């Protein structure tokens, strides 16, 4: 059924070479590969801050005794079109109770209704940008909208919506629908602070403004893909060089790259974005410990 939908979409949009290329790769993609490393302890003993990259923009953040989950994508594909390359790094049933779930925008690879079904019993609150709640099904958890620079508390965690540059809509061709329904977030708990960029284009003035509000960020979670086709992606997504520039402007102590090697949704192939990131880091003489790339399912402890 999925492949039939992809074929019909590709034929309908056959004049768009980008859509055709991505769809053709999805049709021929093998089933998702199993996760090579399974995290045994989602809260390592003595850890104050750790992260598990579950894949794409889905990150499990541990801050002392609480957990936050970002943009949960736990399904085999995104919107029945973008094929998953690797299974989720943590199975839904293994997820701990969550202080909150944060969704950055409405695109299928970030707002997955089926994935929210999987975490419905794990959280009491899901936070979304303005305009999103009316377009969501009913769940047992509370859905709360958060406008830029507004803050709220959930499960003891203070979360603030911070500005990014992306597009609204849900289907890729309807960006005028809820045109401002996208955001980044900063999570604060017990003196720890974590930035999550969702999807964003390069916007130096916005990253600098976030730093003025949050001058002591412990971690910035930033996308590094998709890169290609660059003339199309540049208005909505940072590339690895821009992600490192954003990291510098945010002034965070550490950076976790995300949004790569999980789905077929661009002209990039697995390994290209991380290779470009390593080249950029080497050219800038950056400390490798500041920006560590994880495989899906891997964990990094940042503040023992």
Q: Is residue 10 part of a domain?
A: no
Per-residue model confidence (pLDDT) at position 169: 81
Q: Is 80 exceeded by the pLDDT of residue 12?
A: no
Provide φ and ψ at 14, rounded to 5°: -60, -25
In angstroms, the Cα distances linking 95 to 140, 217, 239 are 17, 25, 30
- Counting the structural domains of the chain, the total is 1
Q: Is residue 26 part of a domain?
A: no
Residue 125 sits in a domain whose CATH number is 3.60.15.10
The answer to which of 39-53, 170-184, 219-233, 282-296 has the lowest mean pLDDT is 170-184
Domain hosting residue 88, numbered range: 31-303
Q: Is residue 6 part of a domain?
A: no
Q: Is 60 exceeded by the pLDDT of residue 194?
A: yes
Q: Is residue 7 part of a domain?
A: no
Q: Is residue 228 part of a domain?
A: yes
What is the model's pTM? 0.92
Q: Is residue 81 part of a domain?
A: yes
Q: Is 80 exceeded by the pLDDT of residue 207?
A: yes
Q: Find the mean pLDDT for residues 110-130.
A: 97
Q: Which of 139, 135, 114 is nearest to 126 (CA)?
A: 139
Q: Is residue 2 part of a domain?
A: no
Q: Is residue 25 part of a domain?
A: no
The answer to which of 2-11, 74-83, 142-151, 247-256 has the lowest mean pLDDT is 2-11
Q: Is 50 exceeded by the pLDDT of residue 223?
A: yes
Residue percentage of the chain with pLDDT more than 90: 77
């Amino acid at each position: 059924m999925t492949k039939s939908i992809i074929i019909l979409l590709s034929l309908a949009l056959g004049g768009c070479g980008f859509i055709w290329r991505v769809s053709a790769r999805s049709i021929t993609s093998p089933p998702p590969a199993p996760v090579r490393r399974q995290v045994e302890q989602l809260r390592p003993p003595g850890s104050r801050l750790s992260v598990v990259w579950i894949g794409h923009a889905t990150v499990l953040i541990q801050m002392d005794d609480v957990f936050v989950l970002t943009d949960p994508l736990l399904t085999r594909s995104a919107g029945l079109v973008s094929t998953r390359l690797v299974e989720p790094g943590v199975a839904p049933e293994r997820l701990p109770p969550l202080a909150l779930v944060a969704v950055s925008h409405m695109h299928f690879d970030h707002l997955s209704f089926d994935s929210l079904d999987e975490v419905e019993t794990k959280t009491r609150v899901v936070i979304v940008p303005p305009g999103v709640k009316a377009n969501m099904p009913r769940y047992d958890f509370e859905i709360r909208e958060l406008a830029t620079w507004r803050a709220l508390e959930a499960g003891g965690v203070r979360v603030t919506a911070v500005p990014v540059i992306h597009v609204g809509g849900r289907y890729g061709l309807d960006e005028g629908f809820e045109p401002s329904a996208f955001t980044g977030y900063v999570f604060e708990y017990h003196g720890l602070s974590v930035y999550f960029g969702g999807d964003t284009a390069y916007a130096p003035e916005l990253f600098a403004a976030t730093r003025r509000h949050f001058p002591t960020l412990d971690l910035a979670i930033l996308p590094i893909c998709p890169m290609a086709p660059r003339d199309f992606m540049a208005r909505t997504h940072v590339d690895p060089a821009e992600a490192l520039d954003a990291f510098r402007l945010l002034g965070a102590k550490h950076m976790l790259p995300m949004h790569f090697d999980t789905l077929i949704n661009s002209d990039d192939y697995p390994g290209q974005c991380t290779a470009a990131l390593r080249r950029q880091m080497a050219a800038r003489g950056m400390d490798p410990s500041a920006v560590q790339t994880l495989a899906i399912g891997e964990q990094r402890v940042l503040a023992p």
